[in-house]
Amino acid sequence: MPHKINRTIITAFLISISLSLGVNVFADQYTHDIKLTKFDKPPAGEKNNINKIANAQRKLQALRYSSKNARKLRNVHPKAHGCVNAKFTVNKDIKKELQVGLFSKPGHTYENVKIRFSNATTEISDDIDKTRKSSRSRGMAIQIPNVEKILGKKVLSIPRQKGTQDFLMINQPTFAFKNVEDYLEITNLQIAELELKGEIPSSVLTFLGFSKEGKPTKHFREAQIIGVLSNTPLADPLETQYFSAAPFLFGDNQVMKFSAKPCAETAQVTPNDPSPDYLRQAMKKSLNEGEACFDFLVQVPPIPEGNFSEILGLEDATFEWIEEQTHLAEFPGKFKKGISYTKVAQIMIPKQNFDTRANDEACENLELSPWHSLAEHQPVGSINRLRNPIYSESAKGRKNRMGQQMKKKNQIRQKN
């Protein structure tokens, strides 16, 4: 684990990568309850803490954006490198035991799939930290439409659900906070930092307990995750692997994590003098020249005897499932080895020009959530339970603002 980590990278990464929440506005109390799976083990008081986070995030939003432009973007992943059209095809030879949920029709191709590639920082910013030549964290969000109609299967009864299966991923196999309790802690620290305007140490450094020498004194796993990511180069969003990070149902009796991996491996070498939007430019060049391809992989471990929630780290979003080699570096008590990836589908992104104003506007209007899901793939674990109200209220808040802006524009036109 690196002894020193760039403070800017820490702040941007921990605020964003932890949940990919996308918060904009919250109700005082989110009242939609979810039916827990048998794998969920929420601690006492979690619902209350989730509501505290929701209200605290509303306050954070006001502190951060009170003087900024009227149009509010996603609070996390606001900068899209581009939204592309794609096809998602289930393997013809998929094993019988893997024919579950979205993968229950061997050889079927889902059409009109949308994929959004993004930065995970909280504000629009350069694609790379030039002082360290390190890339920021990235996201890949897939939305497959009409799955309920195509498969004859039920989607989760969630506010704003439109019958889609969404897969949200980051280019890291874990999140940087393990549960709701930790996220509440960092949220309160962020509010104190903003209210006191620099009179106290950085909220993230306080959370990690950084010493004067630049070493963390607590939350060591989180510091390790940040350190690895801050030294991960990225030349093109179409050429890196993305991960679900958190667990999801795989039918009634198993759980999965999923990943999208480029069909061909490419060495990631960032440009010598990258522009602020070099990742969008790289994507545009790639898709002007030809198609892109990802293998869609799942990890479906056998449910172990004993406390499987603890053994598989289902309530700990910093816990890694390892096939043969970790993507992070082994950390005591934070990984389970021998959980292999299996290819179940392929994503084809055809040659196209996504770089248009109309496409960017449609991309911004996309509502994406891990809870837009078939019941057979319901999100599991503490962080995913937090994401349920966060994503729904975020989308509602963005849509409300868009509606208000359109109303103002129409009023101006009428006056003129």
Encode the chain (416 residues) as per-residue pLDDT tens digits.
Answer: 444 455 544 554 444 444 444 444 344 455 557 899 999 999 999 999 998 888 887 777 677 656 554 455 555 666 678 999 999 999 999 999 999 999 999 999 999 999 999 876 655 566 676 555 555 568 899 999 999 999 999 999 887 788 999 999 999 999 988 999 998 998 888 888 888 776 666 777 888 888 777 788 888 999 898 878 777 778 899 999 999 999 999 999 999 999 999 999 887 777 777 888 889 999 999 999 999 999 999 999 999 999 999 999 999 999 999 999 998 888 999 999 999 999 999 999 999 999 999 998 998 888 899 999 999 999 999 999 998 877 766 656 455 544 444 444 444 444 54
Token code pair at residue 195: 């209210």
Query: 189 — phi, psi (to 5°)?
Result: -65, -35
Per residue in 238-270, pLDDT (tens digit) is 999 999 999 999 999 999 999 999 999 887 777
Range of the domain at 255: 7-415
Instruction: Please report whether residue 57 resides in a domain.
Output: yes
Rg (CA), the chain: 21
Instruction: Please report whether residue 388 resides in a domain.
Output: yes
Rounded to whole angstroms, the Cα distance separating 150 from 178 reads: 35
pTM across the whole model: 0.86
CATH of the domain at 223: 2.40.180.10
Instruction: Please report whether residue 250 resides in a domain.
Output: yes
378 contact partners, CB below 8 Å, separation of at least 6: 34, 37, 156, 248, 249
pLDDT for residue 53: 86
pLDDT for residue 19: 47
Instruction: Please report whether residue 2 resides in a domain.
Output: no
Centre a 10 Å sphere on the Cβ of residue 160 and count the other Cβ atoms it contains. 14
Q: Are 160 and 143 in contact (CB under 8 A)?
A: no
Instruction: Please report whether residue 1 resides in a domain.
Output: no
Token code pair at residue 52: 């505290």
pLDDT for residue 389: 78
Instruction: Please report whether residue 272 resides in a domain.
Output: yes
Instruction: Please report whether residue 130 resides in a domain.
Output: yes
Per residue in 15-46, pLDDT (tens digit) is 444 444 444 434 445 555 789 999 999 999 99
pLDDT for residue 302: 95
Task: Tell me, rounded to whole angstroms, the distance of Cα 306 from its chain centroid.
Answer: 30
Token code pair at residue 99: 């024919």
Centre a 10 Å sphere on the Cβ of residue 77 and count the other Cβ atoms it contains. 26
**Domains: count for the chain:** 1
pLDDT for residue 260: 98
pLDDT for residue 72: 54
Instruction: Please report whether residue 146 resides in a domain.
Output: yes
